[in-house]
Amino acid sequence: MTNEDRAEQARNTLKYFLSIVPNDDDVETLAIDLLADILHLLEQEGLDSERVFTNAEDHFRAERKGL
């Protein structure tokens, strides 16, 4: 899977999110709201959001380098 494929998956996720939650269609606004909702979910599940986001950022950096 390419990084372009990953970006397209995220774009499709934001499109779906927009279809179920009234919101602005601006990509940045949608991403912020979705991430905030994910933080609420992580908190409800008793998960460490900082660890989740750190791991996600590590994956992003590795994928950018093509590892």
Domain boundaries, the chain: 3-65
Mean pLDDT by 10 residues, the chain (67 residues): 96 95 90 97 98 97 88
Position 58 scores a pLDDT of: 97
Quick one: angle between helices 49-65 and 27-44, nearest 10?
A: 130
Residue 29's CB is within 10 A of a number of other CB atoms, namely: 13
Distance CA 5, CA 9 (A): 6
Q: Is the CA virtual torsion 43, 39, 41, 52 positive or negative?
A: negative
DSSP 31: H
The model's pTM: 0.86
